[in-house]
Structure 1
Amino acid sequence: MKRFCDTILITLCFHSNYHLQYFVAIALLFAAACQAVPIELGHYAPSLVHHAPVLAHAVHAVHAEPVAYPKYSFNYGIKDPHTGDIKSQAEERDGDVVKGQYSLVEPDGSVRTVDYTADDHNGFNAVVHKTAPKIIAHAPVVHAPVLAHAPLLHHY
């Protein structure tokens, strides 16, 4: 702020086309006011956020034991001749071991079968089998012989 006041004072003194005494008096009053009153442009409060020191703690994995022994089995099958949706699935679990199979009929008529197992030791493993598409033999189309031709009618 002092630099600003000095700049104003110098500007008023050297660029006076009017009454020099009038500007000198105003400049001196302005300089005195700048020196007498400290001008604060802003007041900043202390930060209200406190950051605690970062402590690194080891995280231990917690393995939750199941409430009941995990054992189940299910199966289902769908055969919809209207849409051609034919599929089935069967699965069973005993403890940590899951075994199952599903199959479906592909659009080309082949059957895809997947046998799978999953456990904690080996992970998930699947074996895919695919059969050859069904070849549907259609009866040959036989045209009946024409025995007699109908007479042609001419209208003149």
Structure 2
Amino acid sequence: MFIKVVAMLALVAAVSAEHAHSSQHIHKHDGHATEVTFKDHHGHHHHDYYTHPKYHFKYEVKDPHTHDHKSQHEERDGDHVKGYYSLHEPDGHERHVHYHSDKHTGFHADVKHSTHHIVPHHHHH
């Protein structure tokens, strides 16, 4: 997931037009690794290492030329993930999504839409 986010942010930054605004922040917390021992289906013992997953990131794109406006914020601490994103859609709607997830209750999202009137700009030559 973390690698996908970094790749997406690089793509967003690469395609941003002149006068567009793009920002991103990623912070990964590297904790101490804990050894985990488990048996496979043949009864063989295996050793691996587990680090408590913890991160937060946010990004924002505001491009007045293409009207591409979006932002996202997400944080994770162990099995708990929560976040928010907003997106201006081409038809003038704005979508706001607050979500959270954990291993006990699964994924939940609260989606809201709002409408903004689009005023066309006429260029005179």
Tell me, yes or no, if structure 1 residue 80 matches structure 2 residue 56: no
Alignment partner, residue 87 of structure 2: 104
Alignment partner, residue 92 of structure 1: 75
> After the TM superposition, which residues 1-156 of structure 1 pair with which residues of structure 2 at under 5 Å, given as runs?
59=41, 67-134=50-117, 136=119
Size of the alignment, in residue pairs?
78
d(CA) in 2 for partners of 1:65 and 1:91? 28
d(CA) in 2 for partners of 1:105 and 1:122? 29
Letter in 2 for 1:94: D
Considering only aligned residues, what root-mean-square deviation do their CA atoms show, in Å?
Answer: 2.7
d(CA) in 2 for partners of 1:89 and 1:98? 13
Letter in 2 for 1:100: G
d(CA) in 2 for partners of 1:66 and 1:126? 32
Instruction: Pick the structure with more helix per residue.
Output: 1
Gap regions ≥5 residues in structure 1 = 1-57, 139-156
Instruction: Give the structure with higher Rg (CA).
Output: 1
Instruction: For residues 4-56 of structure 1, give each alpha carbon's deviation from its aligned partner in whole angstroms, at most 9, with x where no partner exists.
Output: xxxxxxxxxxxxxxxxxxxxxxxxxxxxxxxxxxxxxxxxxxxxxxxxxxxxx
CA deviation after TM superposition for structure 1 residue 81, in Å = 1.1
Higher relative contact order (CA 8 A, sep 6+): 2
Structure 1 residues 127, 65: closer, same or farther in 2, change over 3 A? Answer: farther
Letter in 1 for 2:107: F
d(CA) in 1 for partners of 2:102 and 2:48? 16
d(CA) in 1 for partners of 2:95 and 2:117? 12
- Percent of aligned pairs with the same residue? 54
Secondary structure of the residue aligned to 1:90 is strand
CA deviation after TM superposition for structure 1 residue 89, in Å = 0.4
d(CA) in 2 for partners of 1:117 and 1:66? 27
CA deviation after TM superposition for structure 1 residue 66, in Å = 5.9
Alignment partner, residue 23 of structure 1: none
Gap regions ≥5 residues in structure 2 = 1-39
Instruction: For residues 90-124 of structure 1, give each alpha carbon's deviation from its aligned partner in whole angstroms, at most 9, with x where no partner exists.
Output: 00001110000111001122210111111100111
Letter in 1 for 2:95: R
TM-score when normalising by structure 2: 0.54
Instruction: Pick the structure with more strand per residue.
Output: 2
CA deviation after TM superposition for structure 1 residue 69, in Å = 1.5
